[in-house]
């Protein structure tokens, strides 16, 4: 099937695939099982045992309660059957947007007989609930006591607004804003007063930028567009942005032919004095996390994990390690947060510190010492809902996991947010503790305020939640950054929007981005409710 440009845009913004990264599993027409499944209690019991053996060979064993009966029966199980070689390969033709080269990653023959497969189906359809529960949560106030929405100029309003990347660049003075339009692939530089300086169209959608002290900027381009695919047309290239905002890319990429890369980090991993590059290739059916050893005249790739779905990496300098450690979040399938401890000479040991089932749709994490005990905790979000199970999930949202000092983590806090995509923990109100800002790429239709929520820390893991005032033009939170825009000592927010208006008779537009200007008094102390 061929897709028009408009059709591509509709799907992109309806399902939102930015890093924005869309899951490997893509939505499509319901893949109904070819015939009704009848089963006995014995089938259900055997199916549970078989699921433990087969289903967790690729990812964490999913509990039937994670999805409702209809979603298991009509969407998820048929696709899983395809991956196990049970369903006919022709099923791919019934799944919109699934390119034929996906078949190259499917088994040539069935991995189990049909009797066992029907028993697995019996287990999940019998034990799944008819409906998932509705989360109980305190609703946020439609006001922002610590921020003022700075008006966005009319030129940034459009019926199609897809910000694939935003950045508050504090590497220069005065500070400036960087915004990339994921549809036009246009990178724009604005000054600290949110006035346009210059813009430049690159050969793909930017999803990450690393700013260096010498004004060099390493840009990660996920591919020619944001579409989930198996192509290897992403790259990492160096550009420069001068004081006037002029953008000049190098003629050749530093690394090319990458499978949907989402980030690059720069560090000396093997202690030889040269800066190496950590590249996360999210991919689709295939991907990997690897570091490129800088050998002076060329690079040598060292694969750390040969699996798709790496969506976020953090470099951590731990004085107990023999070089920088790597923390990374893998989404898609085998989801979890992994610690790669540097043992010297660029070698790493792996520890999976948290594991999640694939329906979680892991989307971001941060390492912060949230409770001030000297150990880095994890702020985690899940909510990528662009897979085969596009229903509201009560376990999507914001999580806080506390570190016991040995990198073992225990959940301390959860707030349900449909489609939660990113969280940033900072002391926004200047009272000495960490608050949290979140965005959602898949807010529920009945709760559009989930697109942005601010959590004011009241102490003892209690928060007062706020959201944007009513009628604020911000439909989906695709990306977000936090830093001091105007150098007044307060942390501001830059939000990247995702909006599409398909109604020809309705000319509603929304901005590509909005700025939340911090209006608190630096050093002000706010009394907490303990």
Q: Which residue has the tokens 């791919």?
A: 92
Q: Give the containing element (helix H, strand E) for 119.
A: helix 114-127
Number of neighbours of residue 160 by Cβ within 10 angstroms = 21
The pLDDT, as a whole number, for residue 101 is 64
Q: Which tens digit of pLDDT belongs to each residue from 306-338?
A: 999 999 999 999 878 899 999 999 998 789 999
pLDDT, tens digit, 9 for 90 and up, residues 343-365? 999 999 999 999 999 999 999 99
Average model confidence (pLDDT) across the chain: 88
3-class SS at 220? strand
pLDDT tens, residue by residue, 271-309: 999 999 999 999 988 999 999 999 999 999 999 999 999
What H or E segment, with its residue span, contains residue 186?
A: strand 186-191
Single pTM value for the model: 0.90
pLDDT class of 131 with cuts at 50, 70, 90: very high
162-169: average pLDDT: 97
Residue 37 pLDDT greater than 80, yes or no: no
As given in the structure block, the two tokens for residue 325 are: 């450690």
At 234-268, the pLDDT tens digits run: 999 999 999 899 999 888 999 999 999 999 999 99
Evaluate the omega torsion of the peptide bond into residue 10 and state whether it is cis, within 30 degrees of 0.
Answer: no
Mean of the pLDDT values across residues 62-66?
Answer: 94
User: How confident is the model at residue 250, as a pLDDT?
Assistant: 84
Q: What residues form DSSP beta bridges with 403?
A: 409
Average of per-residue pLDDT across 366-387: 95
CA dihedral 235, 512, 26, 257 (to 10 degrees): -10
The alpha carbon torsion through 160, 161, 162, 166 (nearest 10 deg) reads 160
Nearest to 81 by CA among 124, 44, 17, 38: 124
In the numeric block, which tokens belong to residue 454? 């601010």
The pLDDT of residue 85: 82
């Amino acid at each position: 099937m061929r897709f028009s440009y408009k059709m591509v845009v509709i799907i992109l913004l309806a399902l939102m695939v930015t890093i924005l990264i869309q899951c490997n599993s893509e939505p499509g027409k319901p893949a109904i099982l070819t015939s009704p499944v009848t089963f006995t209690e014995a089938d259900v019991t055997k199916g549970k045992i078989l699921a433990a053996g087969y289903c967790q060979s690729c990812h964490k064993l999913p509990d039937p309660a994670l999805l409702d009966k209809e979603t298991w029966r009509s969407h998820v199980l048929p696709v899983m059957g395809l991956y196990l070689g049970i369903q006919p390969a022709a099923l791919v033709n019934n799944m919109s947007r699934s390119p034929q080269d996906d078949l190259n990653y499917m088994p040539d023959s069935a991995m189990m007989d049909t009797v066992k497969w029907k028993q697995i189906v019996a287990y999940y359809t019998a034990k799944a609930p008819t409906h998932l529960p509705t989360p109980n949560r305190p609703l946020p106030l439609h006001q922002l006591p610590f921020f003022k929405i700075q008006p966005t100029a009319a030129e940034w309003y459009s019926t199609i607004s897809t910000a694939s990347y935003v950045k508050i660049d504090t590497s220069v003075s005065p500070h400036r804003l960087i915004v990339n339009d994921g549809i036009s692939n246009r990178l724009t530089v604005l000054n600290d007063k949110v006035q346009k300086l210059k813009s430049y169209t690159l050969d793909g959608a930017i999803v990450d930028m690393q700013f260096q002290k010498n004004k060099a900027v390493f840009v990660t381009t996920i591919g020619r567009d944001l579409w989930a695919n198996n192509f290897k047309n992403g790259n990492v290239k160096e550009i420069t942005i001068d004081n006037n905002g002029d953008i000049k890319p190098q003629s050749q990429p530093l690394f090319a032919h990458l499978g949907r890369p989402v980030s690059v980090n720069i560090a000396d991993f093997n202690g030889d004095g040269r800066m190496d590059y950590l590249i996360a290739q999210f991919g689709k059916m295939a991907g990997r996390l690897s570091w490129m050893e800088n050998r002076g005249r060329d690079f040598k790739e060292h694969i750390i994990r040969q699996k798709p779905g790496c969506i976020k990496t953090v470099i951590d300098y731990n004085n107990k390690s023999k070089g920088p450690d790597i923390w990374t979040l893998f989404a898609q399938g085998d989801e979890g947060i992994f610690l790669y401890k540097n043992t010297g000479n660029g070698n790493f040991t792996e520890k999976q510190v948290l594991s999640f089932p694939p329906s979680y749709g892991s989307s971001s994490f941060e390492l912060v010492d949230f409770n001030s005990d000297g150990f880095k905790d994890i702020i985690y979000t899940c909510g990528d809902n662009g897979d085969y199970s596009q229903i509201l999930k009560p376990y999507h949202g914001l999580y806080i996991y506390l570190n016991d000092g040995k990198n073992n983590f225990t959940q301390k806090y959860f707030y349900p947010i449909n489609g939660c995509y990113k969280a940033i923990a900072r002391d926004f109100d200047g009272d000495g503790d960490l608050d949290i800002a979140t965005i959602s790429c898949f807010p529920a239709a009945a709760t559009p305020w989930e697109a942005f929520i601010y959590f004011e820390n009241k102490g003892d893991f209690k928060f007062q939640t706020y959201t944007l005032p009513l009628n604020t033009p911000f439909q989906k939170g695709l990306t977000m950054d936090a830093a001091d825009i105007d150098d007044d000592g307060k942390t501001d927010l830059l939000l990247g929007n995702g909006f599409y208006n398909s109604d020809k008779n309705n000319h509603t537009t929304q901005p590509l981005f909005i700025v939340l200007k911090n209006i608190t008094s630096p050093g002000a102390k706010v009394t907490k409710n303990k």
